[in-house]
């Protein structure tokens, strides 16, 4: 029975990985092109869609992939998987397979969201400096280069590739559009679209930037109001997600035999698997709901 359960668990993990790779695989061409344009020219192209996705996550979080330590990390992970399989059985093996990638994904996503909020907050000040540069007689491209180089982090790091692309002859709107595609942020898409419209149809760049500043500030104000109004909902979701795990940890600390009896029996193992799957599905659903608001 145990080999059958182990084989089923491994099959489930491989199926989930296949779904994830299929979801991100269709974006491979565009993601690869954006990465090459945004600073990956001197590096070898990614070997697969999944590796491109990992590089993209690190880049959006403001980090670089630790390629010099990557082999050591993979070896340690494989040793942990083998140790879990030999000591703790299939349940511990499943945890060793899933927990490290999930933790890495959560950490990178948290850093990305935090960095993105700071970028949006600093964007109006940068556009205001571009407006002042235009009033002194600079061109739009020169004004953006000067404003980006004078901007604080993390905005300077996020847009640092734009000045280099402009000096290499890349179209300004295209470079901004690649940055917006990388970070998937509407404010950056609005900036790229505004620059593209100005280059194609002309008009006053100062008025365009003033309108963009107003739109970005209004969107940020609305987002803050929405976060304040939905604070209770988000706190409720966090409590509901953490309550089963905290309760299980408390029972394990106070009366470990109560849960160990489930671990040693076949019916108890099925109940644990069902509870774990329901917990994961519930957390994913609540996370998606929170992202939608």
Question: What per-residue confidence (pLDDT) applies to 242?
Answer: 86
**Matching residue, tokens 């179209």:** 171
Torsion-angle region of 184 (φ positive above 0: left; ψ -120 to 50: alpha; else: beta): left
Domain count, the chain: 2
| Whether 146 and 214 share a structural domain | yes
Residue 86: which pLDDT band, with cuts at 50, 70 and 90? confident
CA atoms within 13 A on the CB side of 208: 18
| Whether 163 and 238 share a structural domain | no
Residue 281: which pLDDT band, with cuts at 50, 70 and 90? confident
By mean pLDDT, which of 20-24, 186-190, 218-222 is the weakest? 20-24
Alpha helical stretches, state H, the chain: 2-25, 28-37, 49-60, 67-87, 89-135, 140-149, 155-159, 161-167, 172-183, 186-201, 205-229, 231-254, 256-264, 266-292
Instruction: Please state, as a whole number, how many other Cβ atoms lie within 10 Å of the Cβ of residue 122.
Output: 18
Q: Which domain holds residue 242?
A: 230-292
The residue among 221, 251, 279 that closes a domain is 221
Could you tell me if residue 62 is inside a domain? no
How far is 257 from 263, CA to CA, in rounded Å?
A: 10
Could you tell me if residue 85 is inside a domain? no
By mean pLDDT, which of 13-22, 26-35, 79-88, 93-102 is the weakest? 26-35
Task: Tell whether pTM > 0.95.
Answer: no
Q: Which residue has the higher pLDDT, 16 or 229?
A: 229
Q: What percent of the chain has pLDDT above 70?
A: 80
Could you tell me if residue 102 is inside a domain? no
Could you tell me if residue 27 is inside a domain? no
| Whether 268 and 203 share a structural domain | no
| Whether 234 and 217 share a structural domain | no
């Amino acid at each position: 029975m145990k080999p059958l359960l182990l084989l089923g668990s491994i099959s489930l993990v491989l199926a989930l990985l296949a779904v994830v790779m299929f979801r991100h695989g269709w974006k491979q061409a565009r993601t690869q092109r954006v990465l090459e344009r945004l600073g990956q020219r001197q590096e070898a192209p990614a070997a697969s869609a999944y590796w491109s996705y990992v590089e993209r996550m690190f880049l959006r979080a403001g980090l670089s992939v630790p390629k010099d330590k990557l082999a050591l990390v993979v070896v340690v992970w494989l040793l942990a998987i083998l140790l879990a399989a030999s000591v703790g059985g299939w349940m511990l093996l499943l945890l060793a397979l899933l927990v490290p990638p999930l933790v890495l994904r959560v950490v990178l996503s948290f850093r990305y969201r935090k960095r993105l909020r700071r970028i949006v907050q600093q964007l109006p000040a940068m556009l205001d400096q571009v407006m002042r540069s235009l009033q002194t007689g600079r061109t739009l491209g020169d004004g953006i280069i000067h404003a980006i180089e004078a901007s604080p982090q993390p905005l300077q790091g996020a847009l640092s590739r734009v000045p280099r692309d402009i000096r290499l002859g890349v179209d300004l709107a295209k470079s901004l559009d690649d940055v917006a595609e990388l970070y998937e942020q509407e404010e950056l898409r609005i900036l790229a679209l505004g620059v593209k419209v100005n280059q194609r149809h002309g008009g006053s760049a100062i008025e365009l930037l003033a309108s963009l500043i107003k739109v970005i500030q209004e969107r940020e104000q609305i987002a803050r109001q929405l976060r304040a109004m939905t604070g209770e909902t988000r706190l409720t979701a966090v409590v509901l997600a953490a309550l089963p795990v905290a309760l299980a940890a408390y029972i394990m600390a106070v009366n470990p035999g109560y849960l160990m009896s489930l671990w040693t029996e076949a019916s108890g193992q099925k109940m644990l698997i069902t509870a774990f799957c329901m917990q994961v599905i519930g957390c994913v659903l609540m996370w998606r709901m929170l992202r939608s608001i």
